[in-house]
Structure formats: structure tokens, C-alpha cells
Amino acid sequence: MSEWGDQNLNPEAMPEPKTRPVGGTEYSWCKAVPSGTGITVLALLLSKPPNFSILQTALHNLQYSHPVLRSKHLFDPTTNTFSFLTPPTPHLQIQPFDLPSTALILQNQSQPNIPAFHLILEHELNINTWRNPNPSSDADTDVLFASVYTISESRWALALRVHTSACDRAAAVALLRALLGEMKSTGRGGAERELKGNGEVSLGIEDLIPNGKANKPFWARGVDMLGYSLNSLRLSNLDFKDASSARRSRVVKLQLNPHDCQRLLAGCKSREIKLSGALAAAGLIAVHASKHLPDHQWEKYAVVTLLDCRSILEPPLSSNNLGFYHSAIMNTHDINGGNTLWELAKRCHIAFANAKNSNKHFTDMSDLNFLMCKAIENPGLTPSSSMRTAFISVFEDPVIDDSSEVHQELGVEDYEGCASVHGVGPSIAIFDTIRDGALNCACVYPSPLHSREQMQDLMDRMKRILVDGCDDVDSES
């Protein structure tokens, strides 16, 4: 029960908790998160001290509005299945960390010259509340947790940690905007809401795919599964630094100022490609260059592109429908030292677009989920037991956001949203945002499989490739 006004409710009059079995994609995340991939974190840097009562009420209101946020994962060991168990009332309690507690956490991170907010983001990415799929305590199965860290006497960090099965990137963006709106409203006298509607978690993505879009003949499914498996044996990877030590997710940044970002977007627009194609191409060129191979030597890399399917489901969903409604398309590309940014970006974009036009984001959904689970269960099937399924993952479209009066009113100086990848996944996952006209990419990677120095070098190479590509755009105009 919530401590904020639920004490006098009659237990006999309370609605029963709702239960829904997880779908196929949600199940794959329930399997992935205990190994370290799929811990979504939304972190805000605040210059004003948060009012805990207002923040608690705002979060409870969000849990009322979005039943999935107040859900728990219920694991049945007899059937090895998961369900969303959704109680009728919010139960989230904010965990506060005072200045000494936060200082100790930062000290234990032992990462010199890294800003405190960045370290707290990494710290949250590695708090795996879901490590045990059969917890002894119900509290361990919540899908949402909230913490406030006291960085200094004038800076605080608010962190929301969410199980990815309940919150994809589009949902995280909607959650951020809704949270800021709730905090503003509650701070001006808004009260905690009451339960409305049936309180059930929305259907999973598989139940909303338009009729016929996911159909694939049995023999074709077998051929594709064989193709994915054989291709994985031929894929190249970013060099592994330490494949045996325990892993954590770390973050490096790739940023372009507004001038260079607008030039990059202009180059994409003139070539009728998406930013995701340019980011993937820059990454592919950078990884080949980082190995100092002869220009004529070819390597094959995998690119995973994630797309938000809400608008193409039946019925269509809005971004306010929280949950996991992304799908993935995997393409492979042969790279040598002679590739240029725009030529390769066009190739990446066309390969993705053709696959999307062929509905592979629907027809191959169960195949990729199955292979993801197999890699989790059998790490030895991947190179050096690294559990790397691709070199890089990108999103089809960037998040576009601008500072607002609400940010100023609440003291929001910075924010970041991304998810962990140190279990199964790519060597680098790019979470891109165009904020106030500038490009900000949070690039998450598994450490010490890859080192921070190695990944920062890769980011520096990618930035030079993108900026040089912008120079090519200017010379064409």
C-alpha cells in the first residue's frame, strides 16, 4: 500500500490485481535483463532540490495513468513463464541518497575525470534488481524504481530505472515529458489521482500486428533462422579487450554542435536517407579504421536498427502507450577501407528500408527473439562467449527535444535516457537525441569487454567522419 493516503481504504472494497502473461518480445526481455541487458534508465540533473512529496505524488499519478508502471513481474518456475501482475494502487517509494551516501557511490565508481551525473547514470544502469528471475520478495519484481542522489549542495540527480519490457525508448521519452508535466501540476496544488479504467496492462506487440503482416511459411522461417545463425559465424567484431571478467554497462558520448548537426541533417535530407544510416555508416568506417587493416581487406559487420511500431499496429498506438513496442531489423554490410560516409550511409539506409518494406520487422520478430534467448542460454555460441549479436545498434529516428519553461521552472539542467547492454546485445548501442538543434548520442557499451579508451577513440573517429561528411555537403552546395 502507498503511504500517501491509502491507509483508510477498505481492503475488501479494493479491486483485485490484474494479471496478463507476457508476450513473445516481452518474454525475451524478461530473459535478457537478469543477464544485464535491458535496464532502462532515465536520469535528470537538477539545480533545484526536489520536493519529495510532490515527486512521490507525480510518480504515483503516472502509475495510475499507466498500469504497466505499477506492475510487478510474476515468475512461475513450474512453467518458466512470466506475467505482469498489476495491483490497483501505486506502491513506489523514492530511495533518497544524501551527500555522504552519494559521495561513497561516486568514489566506488573509480572513474577519474568523469562528471558525477554521468557516473550516476552508469551506476543506475548496473543496479540489476531483476538478476534473480525467481525472487523471494515481491518488491524485487517491480518494473519501476526511483532514486534521488545528492551530488552537491546545489545539484541533485533523479533517476528512474525501468525494466525494458515495460518501457522502450519512445515510452521513456513520453515518461520524461509526462513526469515533468505532473511535477509542474502537482507543485501547483494537484492531488494524487484515483484508479480509473480497468487497470490492465496493454496488449503486447505480437497481439497488435496487422493481420497477415507477420505471416511466414514454415520453410522460409527455417531458412532465415539458418541464415541468421550462419551469418553470425562470419561476422566481425570490435576487438575485445577482456572477454572473461564480469561486465558492466558504461557510456561514452558523441556530440555535434548545432551548426554541424544541421549540416549533417541537411546531408541526410538531400540524399533522402535517415540519420540512423549516417550514424551506422560512421560507426562501420570507424571500426574498420580502428583495426589499422589494409584498405583492401573486407570485413562483415551486423547493424541492428530499432523502429517504433506503434503507428503501424492495429489499432495504432500513441507514444503515451507505455510498454515495449519496438521491433528490430538486422542487416549485414561488407566494409573495407575505401568506403565513404555518404555511399555507405545510403547502402545502410536502403538495406533497412527494403527490409522494412518487406515487413521483416514483423516476420522476423520471433526469429530474432528466439536467437536472442539462445545466445543468453548458450554464450559459447557467440565469439569469445561475448554474447555480442551485432557491432552496433541504432534507432530508425532520433528523439527531437528542446528546452522549455518547464525545464527552467523545475531546474532541469540535463537529462539522459538509455539502456544497459552488458548481457546480450551489440558492442555499441546508440541512443540519439537532437536537443536544441545539437546532436547528443549516449553510446552504451559492455565493459571491460571493451575499454572506455577504446570506445572514446571510436567516438572520436565517428565524429571526425561525420564532420568531414558535413564538409562534403558544403562543397556540393
Burial of 32-69, coded b for 16+ CB within 10 Å and e otherwise, reads bbbbbbbbbbbbbbbeeebeeebbbbbbbbbbbbbbbb
Domain ranges of the chain: 11-205, 207-476
Rounded-to-integer distance, Cα 95 and Cα 144, Å: 12
Tell me the CA distances in angstroms from 51 to 62, 94, 184, one per residue in order. 17, 11, 11
Q: Helix, strand, coil: what percent of the chain each, to 5?
A: 45, 25, 35
Rounded-to-integer distance, Cα 258 and Cα 440, Å: 10
Distance of CA 24 to the CA centre of its chain: 18
Per CATH, domain 11-205 is 3.30.559.10 = yes
207-476: CATH topology is Chloramphenicol Acetyltransferase (3.30.559)
Axis-axis angle for helices 275-290, 452-476 (nearest 10): 120
State the distance between the two ends of the chain, measured CA to CA, in whole angstroms: 63
Contact 109, 119 (CB under 8 A): yes
Tell me, yes or no, if the two domains 11-205 and 207-476 fold the same way: yes
pTM: 0.92
Per-residue pLDDT of the chain (477 residues; tens, 9 = 90+): 333 334 444 545 567 888 999 999 999 999 999 999 999 999 999 999 999 999 999 999 999 999 999 999 998 888 888 999 999 999 899 999 999 999 999 998 877 889 999 999 999 999 999 987 554 444 348 999 999 999 999 999 999 999 999 999 999 999 999 999 998 887 665 556 665 556 788 999 999 999 999 887 665 666 566 666 656 678 999 999 999 999 999 999 999 999 999 999 999 999 999 999 999 999 999 999 999 999 899 999 999 999 999 999 999 999 889 999 999 999 999 999 999 999 999 999 999 999 999 999 999 999 899 889 999 999 988 999 999 999 999 999 999 998 778 888 889 999 999 999 999 999 999 999 999 999 999 999 999 999 999 999 999 999 999 999 988 766 665
Contact 404, 392 (CB under 8 A): no
Burial of 133-158, coded b for 16+ CB within 10 Å and e otherwise, reads eeeeeeeebbbbbbbbbbbeeebbbb
Smallest Cα–Cα separation from 170: which of 344, 395, 369, 9? 395
